[in-house]
Structure 1
Amino acid sequence: MPTTDADRYAPYMLGILRIMTGLLYMQHGLQKLFKFPGAGHHPGPFELFTLAGIGGVLETFGGLAIVLGVFTRPVAFVLSGQMAVAYFLIHLGSNVGKPMGIFPVVNGGDLAILFCFVFLYFSVAGPGHFSLGSRAAGHGN
């Protein structure tokens, strides 16, 4: 039972964090799949069976599942792993040997690390409030 106002509002804030994280994450997938919003990060044509293609699918549809709060724990676990792979393979892997390349702020991997740990948290904490998954299970919000 919640003992303070902060405890009482924690599930609501978890839900808001989940929704905002999912929306931000989806943008990365939408850039890869549809070049929207256009930022030039993935200028080539979309190819499904590449790291960027598979990442785009996971980011778009996994992000949508996170926003909606459906299958939150297993989806978040998979997305956490995807971000760990992205960090070590893409960000760190392509910058080892460069001056200061092992630092996330230099190799551009700080966001991948943050997503990794936020998704890992969701895989343990669940969706919080405002999720379709908990409504469907009869828990309500």
Structure 2
Amino acid sequence: MLIRLNHAQPYALSLFRFVIGLLFACHGASSLFGVLGGNQVEAGAWPGWYAALIQLVCGVLVALGLGTRAAAFLASGSMAYAYFKVHQPDGLMPIENGGGLSALFCWAFLLLVFTGPGAVALDRLFGARSAEDPAGDASRREDTSAVTA
């Protein structure tokens, strides 16, 4: 049983990444465009419009698995800012101040910073192209060093 779970771990992580990114992007879209039952934020309004833009862009990037760690780092930081600046003054605990979603997104994105995108991600596709022949690079370096010696 544990072997099967361990084998499925990278795929479960990809699913987790996709769902978290999609939900985050939906929050951004609802604030930017007034869709999905959200209220549209005035364009350029600080900090709401910029937070919504970060949510939409980072959410899409994380969902696709493209630049996952950098996008997750920015998203996590924005949610930490939202929690401490917007929610925490109303009470220490998220249940008191309504900041539970900000706290959960913050920690979920921080987890993705350290775990990476999982097995199914555009990062893996582009990374496979650049690292196709690592041995070939080393052999070229050896050849040039032999010529200069």
Q: For the superposition of Structure 1 and Structure 2, which TM-score range results when normalised by the shorter chain?
A: 0.7 to 0.9
Q: C-alpha separation between the residues in 2 aligned to 1:80 and 1:21?
A: 12
Please tell me whether residue 62 in structure 1 is matched to residue 61 in structure 2: no
CA offset digits 1:79-115 (Å, max 9, x no partner): 111100000001112x1xxxxx322012111111111
Task: Report deviation, 1:49.
Answer: 4.4
Provide structure 2 residue ranges, at least 5 long, that are not aligned to the other structure: 130-149
Q: C-alpha separation between the residues in 1 aligned to 2:96 and 2:61?
A: 31
Provide structure 1 residue ranges, at least 5 long, that are not aligned to the other structure: 96-100
RMSD over aligned CA atoms reads: 1.5
SS at match of 2:72: helix
Task: Report deviation, 1:46.
Answer: 2.0
Amino acid at match of 2:127: A
State the partner residue of 1:89: 85
State the partner residue of 2:92: 102
Greater Rg by CA: 2
Pairs within 5 Å for 1:12-51: 12-39=11-38, 42=39, 45-51=41-47
Amino acid at match of 1:87: Y
The alignment covers a number of residue pairs equal to 128
Q: C-alpha separation between the residues in 1 aligned to 2:44 and 2:95?
A: 29
Query: So what's the TM-score if we normalise by structure 1?
Result: 0.85
- Of 87, 99, 105, which residue of structure 2 is paired with 1:115? 105
Task: Report deviation, 1:38.
Answer: 1.8
Please tell me whether residue 4 in structure 1 is matched to residue 3 in structure 2: yes
Q: C-alpha separation between the residues in 2 aligned to 1:29 and 1:50?
A: 14
SS at match of 1:7: helix
State the partner residue of 1:137: 127
Say which structure, 1 or 2, has more relative contact order (CA 8 Å, 6+ apart).
1
Identity of aligned residues (%): 33
CA offset digits 1:44-77 (Å, max 9, x no partner): x522241111111100011000010000011111
